[in-house]
């Protein structure tokens, strides 16, 4: 049963109002946490331009501080109180916050930023039980999550973008969500019409050439010279060797998965079965033309050896990667 504050979790729930008495932002993705805060502050200042905003680290919220900040004002001013890293609050301060959750003050919005782990879980549970509005801010560690993030960035601006362009942007920029968001905003501001892969390449060509996925794509296509050139560019610009072996492994596994799939199946059905977007099914189909089952096995062994080499099992990570790239490119011609 919901408490005095209706709760918002994964979808639109009973309360998606940024001015709910308490907002709980849960996760470790700094950009999303900052956006959750900015949304509340913007809504508060839209309601009252003179809103008082207090942004506090956990050591600034001592026992009794919350009571002072949320006490009635003679001027009945609107206030936003932001508590960062709420999981690090002291036990006595957590008691204060739990007590406040049961009877939040009017015209005040409390924003609790919590990492979401086991530490401080009692406060997290208490806020949820009280019905706090919740915003998920998970760390985006998987490429698929970052791809979904990029799609949503463009969708929120109502701009037309191709799936290939979204993937190219993730490949070019990497895992930094702030940089991805900035790149999306730049493309939306600078480009008219549909944003496609050519546009992304034009804006981010240097980074795209250094991408671990570019190395992998050229290798699984059997284009050894281009793959080695992309590898050397990537290494010179600081791309981590482990990201390159990971991309190579992902590329070869995709070839193997699609090669063993039923013939004649539609891209949409294969996408659901293999866990790939339909556009990637089409790309991998083009890449797999020269591959054989023995070639896939040989390539996976070569990538595994390189992975061990770059993780401390060898003296020269770059040489280990070059060997793997050549082996994968050779395997891509194993049917010929």
Selection from 114, 128, 42 nearest residue 80 by Cα:
42
Q: What φ, ψ does residue 81 adopt, rounded to 5°?
A: -110, 115
Return the structure tokens found at 314: 């060898």
- The structure's pTM equals 0.59
What pLDDT is recorded for position 75? Answer: 62
- The CATH number that applies at residue 180 is 1.10.8
Whether residue 128 sits in one domain with residue 179? no
Q: Are residues 233 and 161 in the same domain?
A: no
> Could you report the per-residue pLDDT of 157-203, keeping only the tens digit for each?
999 999 999 988 887 777 778 888 988 998 998 889 999 988 887 77
Residues 151 and 85 in one domain: no
The conformation of residue 60, written as its DSSP 8-state character, comes to: G
| pLDDT tens-place string over residues 64-91 | 999 999 887 656 678 999 999 999 999 9
Task: Examine residue 9 and state whether it is found in any structural domain, yes or no.
Answer: no
DSSP string, 143-200: HHHHHHHHHHHHHHTT--B-HHHHHHHHHHH-S-HHHHHHHHHHHHHH--S-B-HHHH
Residue 82's CATH number: 3.40.50.300
**Full residue range of the structural domain in which residue 100 is found:** 22-66+75-137
Helices first, then strands: H and E counts in the chain = 15, 5
Query: Could you tell me the maximum CA-CA distance found in the chain, to the nearest angstrom?
Result: 83
Find the CATH number of the domain harbouring 221: 1.20.272.10
Q: What is the mean pLDDT of residues 92-110?
A: 94
E strands, the chain, in order: 22-27, 52-56, 79-83, 108-114, 133-137
Same domain, 199 and 216: no
| Residues in the chain, overall count | 336
- What are the φ/ψ torsions at residue 230 (nearest 5 degrees)? -65, -35
Beta carbons within 8 Å of 306's beta carbon, 6+ residues apart: 245, 248, 320, 321, 323, 324
Cβ count near 99 (within 10 Å): 12
Residue 10 lies in a domain: no
In this predicted model, what pLDDT tens digit does every residue of 21-60 receive, in sequence order? 999 999 999 899 999 999 999 999 999 999 999 999 899 9
Considering the domain architecture, whether residues 190 and 109 belong to the same structural domain is answered as no
């Amino acid at each position: 049963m919901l408490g005095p504050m209706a709760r918002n979790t994964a979808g639109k729930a009973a309360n998606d109002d940024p001015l709910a008495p308490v907002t709980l932002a849960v996760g470790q993705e700094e950009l999303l946490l900052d956006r959750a805060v900015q949304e509340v502050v913007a809504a508060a200042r839209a309601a009252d331009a003179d809103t008082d905003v207090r942004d506090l680290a956990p050591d600034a919220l001592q026992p009794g501080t919350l009571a002072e900040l949320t006490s009635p004002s003679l001027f009945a001013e609107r206030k936003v109180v932001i508590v960062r890293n709420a999981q690090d609050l002291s036990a006595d301060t957590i008691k204060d916050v739990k007590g406040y959750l049961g009877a939040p003050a009017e015209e005040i919005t409390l924003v609790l930023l919590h990492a979401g782990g086991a530490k401080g879980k009692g406060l997290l549970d208490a806020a949820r039980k009280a019905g706090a509005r919740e915003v998920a801010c998970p760390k985006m560690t998987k490429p698929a999550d970052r791809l979904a993030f990029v799609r949503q960035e463009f969708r929120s601006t109502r701009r037309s973008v191709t799936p290939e362009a979204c993937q190219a942007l993730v490949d070019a920029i990497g895992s930094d969500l702030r940089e991805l968001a900035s790149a999306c905003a730049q493309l939306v501001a600078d480009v008219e019409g549909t944003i496609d892969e050519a546009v992304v390449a034009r804006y981010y060509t240097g980074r795209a050439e250094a991408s671990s996925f570019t190395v992998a794509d050229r290798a699984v296509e059997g284009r050894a010279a281009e793959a080695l050139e992309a590898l050397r560019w990537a290494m010179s610009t600081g791309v981590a060797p482990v990201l390159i072996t990971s991309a190579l492994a992902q590329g070869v596994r995709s070839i193997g998965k699609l090669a063993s799939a039923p013939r004649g199946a539609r891209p949409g059905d294969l996408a659901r079965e293999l866990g790939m977007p339909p556009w990637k099914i089409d790309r991998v189909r083009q890449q797999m033309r020269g591959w054989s089952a023995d070639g896939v096995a040989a390539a996976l062994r070569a990538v595994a050896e390189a992975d061990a080499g770059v993780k401390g099992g060898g003296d020269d990570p770059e040489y280990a990667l070059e060997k793997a790239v050549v082996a994968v490119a050779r395997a891509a011609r194993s049917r010929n």
